[in-house]
Amino acid sequence: MSAGLVIGTAGHIDHGKTSLVGALTGMDTDRLAEEKRRGISIDLGFAHLKLASGERLSFVDVPGHERFIRNMLAGAAGIEAVLLVIAADESVKPQTREHFDICRLLDIRHGLIVLTKLDLATPAQLERTIRDARRLTEGSFLANAPVIPVSSVTGAGLDELKKQLAKIAKQTSRRDASGLPRLPVDRSFALKGFGTVVTGTLWSGTLHVGDTVRIHPTKREARIRGLQRHGQAVETAVAGDRTAVNLAGIEHGEIKRGFTLTSANALETTTLMDVALDWLNPLAPATKTAQFLLDIGTAELPVTLKPLREGFARLHLTEPVLALPGDRFVLRRPSPAMTLAGGTVIDAFPPRRLNRAKTFERLSNLAAASPAQRVEILTEESPNGLSIEQVVRLTGIPNAAHTSNLILVNGQHLVSKHWVEQRRQKLVEWLQLFHMKHPSAVGAPLSQARLGIDPALLGTVFNNFNAITLRGDLVSLAGYQPQVSNADAKALAQIELAFRQAAFQPPAPADLITDKNARDLLEALVKSGKLVRVSNDLIFHADVIAHIRQSLAAHKGRRFTVPDFKSWTNISRKYAIPLLEYLDHQRVTKREGDARVVL
């Protein structure tokens, strides 16, 4: 079943928001004793309604008093459409304006203008309120929204309001159910017989009964014992649902408003964010470091704002929060309290040591990027690409959008084609220098040619690269031929002849190495395959090893002992043991206790 539309109320205190929701749904959203005693909403209230069209609506009723703006913001964070409520007999008031500004800053794009208390307003008051409402919303997402006069007492206008709500429900796009689950918590309480229950609007993803979830920022884990939507038990909650989650393994006191419930081992909190800002007053933007209150999701916390350039800023948070690119927020002045700005998270894990010019260029690119382009940018700027886990942490995208410019390595790691080309060019330049310094070497050891590349990514750089040649653990430029002087050629021939003639009694390498050049020549013969290194101190001519392999082939499947091997090859025990260990490693023989089998 698809999620219903979450609608919030907004407006001045005592303009009839709670009465309107009650008239529509038959539910009283004032649940606190103090709310009932004082006749005003203090905290968030919740209700639901199923329209005749079949559309399901969830209502978040917010307090209108300026002292409870924090509670209003916690409720507004999860809504997809708003009812801007204005009393027809009083018109636009200060909290009407502030609530409306908050809705704009949070990028709410759908809604209706509802004029309540129609039964108390004169025609002149109604006309003035309509005019003031149009002036307030001019140029905004509510500029062309229907204005619907209603009376919660007589029921006048409620049918028309429901018709317009049905239209919005059909036209409004739903949240992404394919993403990672994120539920900002707006209430946490204990229910007798059930235990801990948290509620909130599921921003993205899907929750299932039995899932293990993580609570941020404490990182406590719990299991979903049950789910409810509109008071009914369900097995699954999807993005956009107003959801009650019954949790096992955690006390309700360990969770508070502002925490976020998400899938385990996927996302991380942050205390530093780069953001794009939208100031309500064009003359108000901070020009130096300043203190604000940040409202994001259902959380509110003090932050320090450091201006960057042209609408970008860096926020230093006093507490960790879970935030992802694209999340909206509001900035308020603590005292005297006032909403000043809102904005969008651009990067929740920004690099700390970029100069302002580079930071501005980077943020401009990220702000204009699609999700796939964002993954590209972040992958390219990382020295060794990004693991899939890192992509999820940085973007919240569970299945990274692969593009023609990215390569997925072993299903676990993303690198850009540009990164691969850069590493290949660097390898070619390094090999050119290596061949100049070591003209007689067949190639460079792979261990030296890695150039700081993660071993798991070497294959992406080396494989199918026609400009190089791989020979075992050596790499060279394609077509490279070792340059050997006449003197070195003569020395190479002499060394090789010494090992060939020695056969099963090879000379010790130390006896032949008189200087660095002799060492390099000996290594060149090993790398070329003319000599075979059996152990650190034992080298045979390749023809000898080939003869031994051929001799053993005649005994395939036969068990034998060290004395048997000595008898077959006429080799001393001094050389037989390391030689057999080499043959085991080469899978020519296999050790079984004190004996071996010819494979």
459: buried, middle or exposed (CB in 10 Å: 19+, 13-18, 0-12)? exposed
Q: Which of 349-363, 509-523, 549-563 has the lowest mean pLDDT?
A: 509-523
- Region 120-144: mean pLDDT is 95
When pLDDT is cut at 50, 70 and 90, the band that residue 3 belongs to is: low
- Cα–Cα distances (Å) from 549 to 338, 368, 546, 596, in that order, read 86, 65, 5, 14
Helices (H), 476-515: 486-502, 509-512
Rounded CA gap, 209 and 14, in Å?
Answer: 40
Handedness of CA 420, 424, 425, 430 (dihedral sign): positive
Question: Which tokens is 239 given?
Answer: 């993005």
Rounded CA gap, 516 and 213, in Å?
Answer: 62
- Region 72-101: mean pLDDT is 88
Q: What are phi and psi of 356, to 5 degrees?
A: -65, -40
Helices (H), 382-515: 388-395, 417-437, 446-449, 458-462, 486-502, 509-512
Could you tell me where the beta strands, DSSP code E, fall in 284-382?
A: 290-296, 299-307, 312-321, 328-333, 338-347
Query: What pLDDT is recorded for position 32?
Result: 41
Rounded CA gap, 40 and 433, in Å?
Answer: 79
Most confident of the following: 24-33, 115-124, 168-177, 235-244:
115-124
Q: What is the pTM of this model?
A: 0.78
> Which CATH class, in words, describes the domain spanning 488-598?
mainly alpha
CATH topology of domain 182-263: Elongation Factor Tu (Ef-tu); domain 3 (2.40.30)
Query: What pLDDT is recorded for position 561?
Result: 92
Query: What pLDDT is recorded for position 43?
Result: 54
CATH of 270-366, one of 2.40.30.10, 3.40.50.620, 1.10.10.10, 2.160.10.10: 2.40.30.10
CATH of 5-171, one of 3.40.80.10, 3.20.10.10, 3.40.50.300, 1.10.10.10: 3.40.50.300
> 416-453, pLDDT tens digit by residue?
999 999 999 999 999 999 999 888 788 888 888 888 88
* 38 compared with 135, residue with greater pLDDT: 135
Rounded CA gap, 43 and 73, in Å?
Answer: 11
Rounded CA gap, 429 and 124, in Å?
Answer: 83
On the question of a common fold for 369-483 and 488-598, the answer reads: yes
Provide the mean pLDDT of the chain.
Answer: 88
Domain boundaries, the chain: 5-171, 182-263, 270-366, 369-483, 488-598
> 253-303, pLDDT tens digit by residue?
999 999 999 998 789 999 999 999 999 987 778 788 899 999 999 999 999
CATH of 369-483, one of 1.10.10, 2.70.98, 1.10.1760, 1.10.287: 1.10.10
Instruction: Please determine, for residue 121, whether its predicted confidence score (pLDDT) is greater than 90.
Output: yes
Eight-state DSSP code of residue 349: S
Cis omega (within 30 of 0) for bond into 320: no
Handedness of CA 142, 144, 145, 150 (dihedral sign): positive
> 318-345, pLDDT tens digit by residue?
999 999 999 999 999 888 888 899 999 9
Rounded CA gap, 292 and 277, in Å?
Answer: 13
Comparing C-alpha atoms, which of 333, 324, 343 is closest to residue 303?
A: 333
